[in-house]
Chain A
Amino acid sequence: MKLFDDSKSPWVFLAPSLVLYGLYVLFPIVFTFYLSVTAWDGISSFPLPMCITSPETSCLSNFTELFEAELFWKSFTNNLLWLVFFGISPLFGLFLALFFHVKSNFASPLKTLLFMPMVFSLIVVGMIWSWFLQPGFGLVDTVLHLLKLLPPDQEFGLMTELGLAPNAGVILAAIWPHSAYCMILYLAGLSNLPKNVFEAALIDGANRWQLLWHVILPMLKPATIIVVIVTMIGALRAFDIVAIMTNGGPANSTNTLALYMYQETFVNFRYGYGASIAVVLFMISVGLILAYLRQIKKGET
């Protein structure tokens, strides 16, 4: 077993993963960076950078155009809204995980039901919430009319407005399955915790809140780090549910950077420009995640 000699073994263990990961993920990412300085349409053969094909154009002209585009800033603002409000889901997830962490055989079926939102593909989730919020026929309207909170001839116009309002509906729909996701991560984290710590804390006379705040949460930190990261990424990459519920509309009011990128790339046939949006989004994500990880490290030392 020379191969697994301990000084080499980390790399031997990592090798198969790195090959696959390099091929399917890293190479396409590098390639995307390259495409962002081209004017590729996504269908012709791969082009040279713009500044080489036409010397009067700058190689960064996709980026200059992007930063001048009204739609970019609109989508960016919406992503910020996502970051803030989608960020509620970890709290829901933690609450559900703690609440249902009980000793009983009947808790399992309930947990399975809680997990259901995550099982449905986002296509279906988007569809369901669209019906809920549909002006005129939707459940929200039906209930408001029944309770006489809304005159019968009026409609609940949340999703009709041109502005920030319709984002509320879309983000709400996204929180639902994402909370279930966070719940699973926390459930896994909870079962990893040693129980003697609690006994010790309880013997010391800690109450439930102190226990939660000073014992459980710090010990759930590995789970929390993952939850926070996937939530940030989820908010920054918000795509499916927007595409299904509003397709970015009305008139781009709910557009996000990922959807904007998709539309430019696959509807408008501007792969190069789309790649530049992806690169910007990538940079924003890297910045945020690194800042978060640094914060964590600081807390540790």
Chain B
Amino acid sequence: MSTFKAKTWAFILFLSSTAHAGDLIINSMHSDPDVKKAFAQLLEDFKKENADIKVVLNTTSHEAYKVQIRTWLPNKAPDVATWFAGNRARYFIDKGLVEPIDDVWTGIDKQFSDSIKDVVTFNGKKYLMPLSYYNWGFYYRKDIFEKIGVKTPPKTWAEFTTIVEKLNKASISPIAIGIKDGWPAAAWFDYLNMRIHGYKFHMALMAGTESYLDPKVKKTFEVWQTLIKSNAFNKSAAAISWQEASALLWQGKAGMYLMGNFITTQIPKNIEDQIGFFPFPTLNPEIPNAEVAPVDVYFIPAKAAHKAEAKKFLAFLAKPETQQKFNQSVKLMPTNSTSITDAGDRFLKAGIETLRNAKNVSQFFDRDADPEVAKAGMDSFVELMARPDDINTIAKKIEAVRLRVYKK
């Protein structure tokens, strides 16, 4: 009986033991197999330089991570965590949950472009360390464009809408889109609004200082509405996911697709040569081009236990070699501009080119806007795409949420 008792106690002790502690605990939301592999390699390289630091990595899938971070960040925080730049980071920073890392940034800030530094700086302090970013734009079927007699991808809105018409005549869905999750629709709003009214107005709208009832926003909606009503998008968009929409492009049922560059990792091999890229066309020649280019960042929670080690790690992340090696294997762009990017990948090359021509970069609707406004916005965009009749009601819905959020 006594050995049974002892065994029981030993078992309970085992059950109540927590995981092995490390000197550097990193929580990550990058659960895609490729990214995970590349990040594991990055950690290996870090350990080579810092053999004395024991690293523990915890990976949680993207959506789950967004919920989970709210439990551990104010309580049992890891030493380093992944997150998004933009308003989503500001939310935690304003609550004092993120450690400023200006000391890590001293001496290296010249290696990063102003637009990148802009999205990691809040109230004059730097809080985040960027590792990668990626561009957005149109991925299109070269063979289909050729078939309808289009030789070069469109540069202006007029050229763009002509192609839409031609594709429609050839009974091909001009533009693929799947908005079961609202965000692919938000990309359209971001681009149209930035192309028509410029980066400054768009960011003011995102920051809550401009109204959704502004005639400018109405104009953006009108351009979008006209496009929708001209049958530019595939049917049933509201019920399919963005991945399912991409299948329309792979199968030649649609001509082009506004997406982030991550989509290029998924192009089926048999049609790889048929896929081309062009940036979102110009709508207003007086407005300088701004692009959507979300930046993925790392930060140190204010409650982290091993801040010195964490800072060493972030300094390592910032290095041009680190950024280059990691991003090359996952087909993303390094944020350190002294990284030499091997443009062997033509999509990456086109992306870098696009961002070089951009005056500013935004982070994406749901990263730039307040979360509540973003949710209301995306719901409304879906409604607009499904029922493109009533712009005013849609604008009013978003405005109501904006007013409530920003009156606080």
Contacts and interface: CB of A to CB of B under 8 A. Distances in A.
In the complex, are there CB atoms of A and B closer than 8 Å? yes
Interface of A: 42-44, 133-137, 153, 155, 157-162, 166, 246-247, 249-252, 263, 266-270
Contacts of A246: 180, 239
A134 B234 CA distance: 14
B74 interface: yes
B321 interface: no
User: Could you say which of A161, A247, A251 has the most chain B C-beta atoms within 10 Å of its C-beta?
Assistant: A251
Q: Is the interface of A mostly helix, strand, loop or mixed?
A: loop
Contacts of A250: 179-180, 238-239, 382-383, 386
Given A249-B180, A249-B182, A266-B67, A136 B236 contact: yes
A92 B379 CA distance: 36
Contact of B95 (A43, A135, A158, A266): A43
Contacts of B387: 162
B207 interface: no
B97 A159 contact: no
Instruction: Give the top 4 A-B pairs by smallest Cβ distance, nearest first.
Output: A135-B236, A250-B238, A159-B239, A251-B383
Contact of A270 (B74, B91, B180, B372): B372
B70 interface: yes
B95 A44 contact: yes
B235 A249 contact: no
20 contacts: A42-B70, A43-B97, A135-B239, A137-B247, A157-B235, A157-B239, A159-B236, A160-B239, A161-B386, A162-B238, A162-B386, A249-B238, A249-B382, A250-B180, A251-B383, A251-B386, A268-B372, A269-B70, A269-B91, A269-B371
A247 B236 contact: no
Nearest to A166: B239
A157 to B, nearest CB: 6
Interface of B: 66-67, 70, 73-74, 91-92, 95, 97, 171, 179-182, 235-240, 244, 247-248, 371-372, 375, 379-380, 382-383, 386-387
Nearest to B182: A249
A166 B387 CA distance: 16
A155 B238 CA distance: 13
Nearest to A154: B235
A137 B250 CA distance: 13
A160 B238 contact: yes
Contacts of B70: 42-43, 266, 269
Nearest to B397: A70
Contacts of A155: 235-236
Given A135-B240, A155-B236, A162 B383 contact: yes
Given A162-B383, A268-B372, A247 B238 contact: no
Contacts of B180: 246-247, 249-250
Looking at chain B's contact residues, the main secondary structure is: helix
A134 B371 contact: no
A252 B238 CA distance: 11
A44 B91 CA distance: 11
Contacts of B238: 159-160, 162, 249-251
B247 A134 contact: no
Given A246-B180, A266-B67, A251 B382 contact: yes
B401 to A, nearest CB: 9
Nearest to B237: A160
Contact of A136 (B67, B181, B182, B240): B240
Which one of B67, B180, B182 has the highest number of Cβ atoms from chain A below 10 Å of its Cβ? Answer: B180
B27 to A, nearest CB: 16
Given A161-B386, A249-B379, 14 more contacts: A43-B92, A44-B74, A135-B235, A137-B247, A153-B171, A160-B235, A249-B182, A249-B382, A250-B180, A250-B238, A251-B386, A252-B379, A263-B375, A270-B372
A155 B173 CA distance: 13
Contacts of B383: 162, 250-251
Output the residue of A160, A250, A266 with the most chain B CB within 10 A.
Answer: A250
Nearest to A65: B404
A41 B236 CA distance: 36
A160 B236 contact: yes
Contacts of B171: 153
A244 to B, nearest CB: 11
A137 B386 contact: no
A256 B263 CA distance: 32
B35 to A, nearest CB: 21
A136 B248 CA distance: 10
A251 B379 contact: yes
A137 B91 contact: no
Nearest to B171: A153
Contact of A157 (B73, B181, B236, B371): B236
Interface centre among A153, A249, A269, A270 (most CB of B within 10 A): A249
Nearest to A252: B379
A158 B239 CA distance: 9
A43 B235 contact: no
A268 B236 CA distance: 27
